[in-house]
């Protein structure tokens, strides 16, 4: 049996232009997993208001990070795409010694390359077993759930149905938590520890959690494990949620509001880390590293420092490799 591992992340526009952003948002925001508002209500809003107006505002933000990434570091294209591609290449190298039988590729939930296309290509090359590995440590129906939908679509439309498994989550895997802790410690070694460590996770509507989405509980557990690994007490860290959209209540406390409150109170320094993001992207680079820094400082806060996502850290790649090795069966030895 020939096995392929396919790393998956959200996706990105093909280029930093309004038409490309519009195409990406059309696909992303049309997914009923992402926006659960009834279609008859939501689609007129999407096509009549959001798609005509929002791409023109977002495209310049993508242009600022295109080919540069965090703090001007050179990348190729969109940071999310670049880091996901490089993660697949580095994971392939990491697995070479223990699992040389495994091929590693990558795909995106929205945009290119598409999961169905990657699976079809690999099937033509002779692969018949696949592990789809969403780079979402915490499961949510809004993210990993959409990937399950794409796997189900492959089953429905493919006569030669492949064997596909999906990594559901890894929010408390010891090597993932250790990699997060190492990134914080290394930051502290260079800059010293701030008064507060803010752990900012991507938000989802509170109604989703009320209906049974386990995301909040998994974020909470990741935060608690990381705080314990770092030896922090409850006064030294805070769990928050960013990137809310629309007027509905989302998971709280909100990252921007918390930072504004800390600024008003005169907190002298804050470190911010985003444990739910395996790679830096628009939400971390623009929203967290830039916009929220301005909110905190303008409200009266002191020093603000963003700790980058795990990206291409060796301990991050090692953690991904360990999860793959734990999830896949040991290959049978060929008699000869």
Instruction: Give tens-digit pLDDT for 68-82.
Output: 888 888 899 999 999
pLDDT for the residue 335: 38
336 lies in some domain: no
335 lies in some domain: no
Structural domain count, the chain: 2
316 is in an annotated binding site: no
Same structural domain, 17 and 151: yes
**Cα separation of 327 and 307, whole Å?**
29
125 lies in some domain: yes
List, for residues 242-254, the tens digit of each pLDDT value: 998 888 899 999 9
Same structural domain, 126 and 261: no
Q: Is 267 exposed, middle or buried (0-12, 13-18, 19+ CB in 10 A)?
A: buried
Q: CATH number for the domain including 183?
A: 3.40.50.1400
Same structural domain, 153 and 186: no
Same structural domain, 178 and 292: yes
User: Which residues form the domain of 289?
Assistant: 174-307
Spatial CA neighbour of 244 closest among 203, 210, 272, 275: 203
334 lies in some domain: no
pLDDT for the residue 336: 38
Same structural domain, 282 and 242: yes
164 lies in some domain: yes
pLDDT for the residue 333: 58
Same structural domain, 252 and 135: no
Q: Is 132 exposed, middle or buried (0-12, 13-18, 19+ CB in 10 A)?
A: buried
Same structural domain, 107 and 254: no
**Cα separation of 251 and 323, whole Å?**
28
Contacts of residue 59, Cβ cutoff 8 Å, sequence gap at least 6: 13, 16, 17, 18, 20, 21
332 lies in some domain: no
173 is in an annotated binding site: no
List, for residues 176-201, the tens digit of each pLDDT value: 999 999 999 999 999 999 999 999 99
pLDDT for the residue 330: 73
39 lies in some domain: yes
- pTM for the model stands at 0.95
Same structural domain, 190 and 163: no
pLDDT for the residue 332: 60
29 lies in some domain: yes
Same structural domain, 275 and 193: yes
Same structural domain, 91 and 213: no
Same structural domain, 38 and 165: yes
Average pLDDT of the chain? 95
pLDDT for the residue 111: 96
Same structural domain, 25 and 130: yes
List, for residues 112-139, the tens digit of each pLDDT value: 999 999 999 999 999 999 999 999 999 9
Is the per-residue pLDDT at 312 higher than 60?
yes
């Amino acid at each position: 049996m020939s096995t392929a591992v396919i790393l998956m992340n959200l996706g990105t526009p093909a280029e930093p232009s309004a038409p490309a952003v519009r195409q990406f948002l059309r696909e992303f925001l049309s997914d009923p997993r992402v926006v659960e508002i009834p279609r008859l209500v939501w689609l007129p809003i999407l096509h009549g208001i959001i798609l005509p107006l929002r791409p023109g505002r977002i495209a310049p933000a993508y242009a600022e990070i295109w080919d540069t990434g965090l703090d001007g570091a050179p990348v190729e294209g969109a940071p999310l795409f670049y880091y996901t591609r490089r993660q697949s290449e580095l994971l392939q190298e990491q697995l070479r010694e223990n699992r040389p039988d495994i091929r590693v590729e990558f795909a995106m939930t929205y945009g290119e390359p598409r999961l169905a296309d990657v699976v079809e290509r690999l099937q033509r090359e002779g692969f018949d077993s696949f592990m789809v590995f969403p780079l979402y440590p915490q499961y949510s129906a809004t993210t990993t759930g959409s990937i399950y939908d794409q796997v189900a679509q492959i089953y429905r439309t493919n006569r030669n149905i492949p064997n596909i498994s999906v990594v559901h989550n890894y929010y408390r895997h010891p090597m993932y938590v250790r990699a997060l802790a190492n990134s914080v410690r290394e930051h502290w070694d260079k800059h010293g520890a701030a008064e507060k460590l803010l752990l900012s996770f991507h938000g989802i509507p509170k109604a989703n959690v009320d209906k049974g989405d386990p995301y909040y509980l998994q974020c909470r557990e990741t935060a608690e494990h990381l705080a314990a690994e770092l030896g922090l007490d409850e006064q030294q860290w805070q769990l928050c949620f960013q990137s809310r959209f629309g007027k509905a209540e989302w998971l709280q406390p909100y990252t921007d509001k918390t930072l504004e409150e800390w600024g008003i109170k005169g907190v002298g320094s804050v470190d911010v880390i985003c444990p739910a993001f395996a790679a830096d992207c628009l939400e971390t680079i623009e929203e967290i590293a830039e916009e929220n820094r301005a909110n905190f400082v303008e409200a009266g806060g002191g020093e603000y420092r963003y700790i980058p996502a795990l990206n291409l850290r060796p301990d991050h790649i090692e953690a991904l490799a360990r999860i793959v090795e734990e999830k896949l069966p040991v290959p049978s030895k060929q008699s000869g």
